[in-house]
Structures are given as structure tokens and as C-alpha cells.
Amino acid sequence: MQLSAQNWDINTVKTINKWDVHGLSRGLSASGVILPVGVPAAMGIYALIKKDQPLLKDAIYIGTSVIEAVGITYAAKHIIGRDRPFVKYPDKIHVYGAPDADSPSFPSGHTAAAFSLATSLSITYPKWYVIAPSAVWACGVGFARINQGVHYPSDVVAGAAIGVGCAFANIYINRWLNKILFKKK
């Protein structure tokens, strides 16, 4: 017996999975791994080269926010162990891209990383031209994961909540970390 929330989850995946935007979804999905690693890494490398301590602190804050979000989602995936939609419903959901059928579905790690990056960038640089594109991109990553048939909407919502939560929690965690790394209050 399925609950109506489960029906909503699978029915939404079935609907979005049929939309023929799989090329765009592949790109967005890949960016959900590349940008959360690349942006803070590039910021950190540039900061080290230029000896720019404030930028280095920003890079560490953003990078550790992403690392926390990925770590939490990885642990939750393996504790919860939910099958991916294309695995559970192979007759209803077509997978696009290169899936990892052995990796659990809940929560979405790509979405958590994307929302962690978008939120920490928006907190660090609170300008509309950072916030708006970051938010649209992070939502696009979540949509792409559903469109590819690898996540349910509830996976994406949980991933987004973890990403946002880590970015906010990391404001306080990095105050402590900065004292250790930079020997200042």
C-alpha cells in the first residue's frame, strides 16, 4: 500500500521524466558536481596566488559548506537506502545519462551541493546578480535530477534543505575555523 505522498512523488517524476529536455538536464546535472567543487577551489587558488586573505576566508567558507552538504547527504543516502526511481519503477521511468544504480536516491547530493554553493555565494556576496542566477541554477540542478529519472522530488527538496542549512550553519562553524586557520578572533 502506497501513501498519497508517495503517489505524488512518483507521479511527478513520471511527468517530468517525459519532458524532452534531457540534453539540458545532462548539462545542469554535471554542473551540480563541477561548480560546487570548481568555484571554491578557483577562489582559493586565486586567493593564495594574490595573498588575498579575505577571499581565502570566503573560499574556505563556501568550500566547507559544500563539503558538509555532500558529507551529510552521502551519510543519509546510505542510512536510508532508498532506491532510485528508475530502479524501483523501470517500466515507468526512463533513465537519461550515466546513472549509478547502486547509489541510493534520498537525498539528492547534486542538489545539496548546488544549493550549498548558491546559498553560501549569496550570503557572501549579497547582490541580486549573485543571488538570482545562483538560485535559478540550483533549482535547475534539482529539476534536472528529476528529469533524468534519478531522483524523486522529495529527494531534491531534502537535498536543497541540507544545502541551505549547511550554508547557514557554516557561518558559525567558520568563525571557529577562522580562529584556528588565521589565528585571529
CATH number of the domain at 114, please. Answer: 1.20.144.10
Q: What does the pLDDT look like over 92-141, one tens digit per residue?
A: 998 887 667 788 999 999 999 999 999 999 999 999 999 999 999 999 99
Q: Is the pLDDT of residue 160 over 70?
A: yes
Q: pTM of the full predicted structure?
A: 0.91
Nearest by Cα to 104 from 127, 122, 128, 86: 86
Q: Is the pLDDT of residue 1 over 50?
A: no
Which residue is listed with cell 545542469?
Answer: 28
Does a structural domain hold residue 9?
A: no
CB atoms within 10 A of CB 131: 16
Q: 33 lies in which domain range?
A: 18-179
CA distances to 34, 115, 150 from 16, rounded to whole Å, are 24, 20, 11
2 in the Ramachandran plot: left (φ > 0), alpha (ψ -120 to 50) or beta?
beta
User: What is the total count of domains within the chain?
Assistant: 1
The contacts of residue 91 (CB under 8 Å, 6+ apart) are: none
